[in-house]
Structures are given as structure tokens and as C-alpha cells.
Chains A and B, each alone.
Chain A
């Protein structure tokens, strides 16, 4: 095979490889959303963060608008402090609230933002005051059993015939 033909075939091979890399990163992975838009960070304190993990999405009305950056424990109040990065083009009123929610019945946890009505907006470094913790299934079951027991104690014993 002539030198030129070999060079052509190798060039095609390399270009095919680059096309494969582009396919993997653009179509089969999240490069499009990876070069993440710059954002501002806000924090929120939760009594219980459940299984929330760093890089979990922050959503408002179901639309992803940011990611959880860091999670740590406040040593004074024993609350979980969640630092979130929210895209710059999304602004929330100062009295917005944050909830830890689950996508689907067994899905991943995410932070849901619910806008308030304040005129002022959240800026970088702000703390979200109103929060709602993750629902921990064990606590829920415990509460249910407790209520059942309380009901059983209150109501008169079923009559026997």
C-alpha cells in the first residue's frame, strides 16, 4: 500500500476514534451539563438530611437548577448544613424554603426549593431559614406504631360476644 493510502486510512481511524469519544461524552454522558454554569452558594440547615449526597441535584418545580456542593454537621446545633450551588440566572426570594425530597418512591434524594414572596433575593452566602428535613422511613413507621398504640389505649376494648 502506498504511503499516502496508509496515511489516509490512519487519518480515518483517528477521526473515527475522536468521533467515538465525542459520542461517549456528548450523547452517552453529561458533558453538556458538566461545564456547569457559574452559580452562587447558599446554605440551609436541616434537622436530618437522610441520605442526601454531595452532587445531588437542587430542583425547583422539578427543574434542576443547581447541585449540592458540601454537607457537614454544625457542631453547635447538631444540624446538617447543606451548601448548595444555584445557577446565577435563577434568583429566589429571601424567604424561600428548602425541602429534602425523594424522586419516586425509592429514588435519589434531592433538595427542592420553593420560592417565597419576599422582595429581596437570596445572594451568595445566605442561609435559607425555612427547611423541611428528609422523611426517614424508620421514624415514620415508629410514629405509626406509636399512634396505633395510643389509639388502642384510648378506645374501649372491643366487645366480646
Chain B
């Protein structure tokens, strides 16, 4: 391999990276442009909210409850030596509402809803359904992609809110019913230390951003997949990996922006 080849290989890699970013960006812009079409035919969105949101409820709610239980137990053991057990509710609430709620929900969402979106779109492409739609002058972007995108963006914040709410209830069950903390203290400390806009509001903003990212990634991976069984399998895996990593990266950036000042 000559030096020339090596330089060319680096260049080709860079061009590939830039091109894939560009394609993803154009795809995302396309989704945004076709959103009004989806909103005009809202029954399509409702159907997708059912597929994406309702069907994810069981896993989201049970995980939220489990996280609330475990968080409360662990925090209780950490707080006992300081005699600060009454702030259990506040700690669980803040960690759920600010971080765990949006992030864990997004990770589960990528696994539960994202993969099914990718597989669905990928198989539609493999079966040439998308091409057939185009033949009939139906734009698959406004008929298939945009309703799913809108549905994902609507479902994700709702799921994250439910995750946090159920988690707090779980912490209440462990803290008040099992351990025997005072119920009044549990709620009142939570109310004095948790701010609606700063904590709950920013958590919702986060989950909204994650909803956009997870759904867009899933749809993109399905849309650009190779139209073969291996291609669809590979695209589904990529959906989980790419959305999880982007959720974690975006979460770090949003946390730095939102909560860096005390």
C-alpha cells in the first residue's frame, strides 16, 4: 500500500462519514417537512400512538416501579448513617424526574418501540411496499414515516412522566409502607425541594428531545436498510445501539445546560 493509497483511504472514510451525516440530516428535515401532512390525517397518528405508546406501557410502568423500589432501598441504607432518612423521597424524586425517568424510558423505548419501527419500515422496504406506494403517487414519507415520527414524539414524554410518577409511588411504598418513614415528611420535603419548572419541566424537555432522537433514528435505520433479511436484522441492531448512545450523549449535554447552576 503506497502512501497515496493511505491518504486516499482516510479521505474516503471522511467522505463516507460526512455523507451519512448529511443523509441522516436530510432525512430528518424531510420528516419535519412532512409533519403537517401527518397532523392533517391524525387518525394515522392515533393508530401509531397505540402501537408505540400503549404497547410500551407495561414495560415502562413495571420498570419504573422496580427502579423506584430499588432506589428507595439503596438510598435508605445510604442515608441512615446521617440520620437524613426523611429526605429519601426528595432524593428519589429528583433522580427520577431529572435523569432516570427520561433516560431509562428512552433506552427502553429504543428497545421496545424503536426496533419494531425499524423492522416494520425495513420489511416494507424489502417487500417493495414503499416503492409501490410511490407508484400510486402516495408519498410514503407523509403516509408512513411522518405519522410514526409524530406518534413517537408524543408518546415518549408521556411514558417518561409515567415512569417517574410510578417510580415515586414505588419509593413511597418502600419508604413509607415497608420501612415506616413518615408519610407527611416524605411528601412535604419533596414539595419544598423539587421545583416544577426547573426539575419536572426540564425532565419533560429532555424526554421530548429523546423522543425526537429515538424515533428519527429508528425510522432512518429502517428507511436506509438493505432490502434483505440480514439487512433488516442489522438495521434493528443499529437502531438500539445508535439511539442508546445518542440518548446518553444528549443527556449529558442537556444536564450540563440545565442543571450546571445550582
Q: Footprint of B on A, CB under 8 Å?
A: 1, 3, 6-7, 9-10, 13-14, 16-17, 20-21, 23-25, 27-34, 53
Nearest to A35 among chain B residues (CB) is B196
The size bracket of the interface on B is 20 to 34
Kindly identify which residue among B57, B158, B194 contacts A29, using a CB–CB cutoff of 8 Å. B194
Q: Footprint of A on B, CB under 8 Å?
A: 43, 46-47, 49-50, 53-54, 57, 93, 97, 155, 157-159, 161-162, 164-166, 168, 187, 190-192, 194-197, 199-200, 204, 262
Main secondary structure of the interface of B (DSSP, over half): helix
Chain B positions within 8 Å of A7 at CB level = 43, 46
Q: Output the least CB separation between B110 and chain A (Å).
A: 19
Are A10 and B54 touching (Cβ within 8 A)?
yes
Are B197 and A13 touching (Cβ within 8 A)?
no
Tell me the number of A-to-B contacts counted with CB atoms below 8 Å: 83
Are B190 and A29 touching (Cβ within 8 A)?
yes
Chain A positions within 8 Å of B46 at CB level = 6-7, 10
Chain B positions within 8 Å of A27 at CB level = 187, 191
Are B200 and A9 touching (Cβ within 8 A)?
no
In Å, the complex CA distance between A17 and B165 comes to 9
Kindly identify which residue among A6, A9, A21, A31 contacts B161, using a CB–CB cutoff of 8 Å. A21
Are B43 and A13 touching (Cβ within 8 A)?
no
* A–B pairs, 21, beta carbons within 8 Å: A10-B49, A10-B53, A13-B49, A13-B155, A16-B158, A17-B157, A20-B162, A23-B168, A24-B165, A24-B168, A25-B196, A27-B187, A28-B97, A28-B191, A29-B93, A29-B194, A29-B200, A30-B195, A30-B196, A32-B191, A33-B191
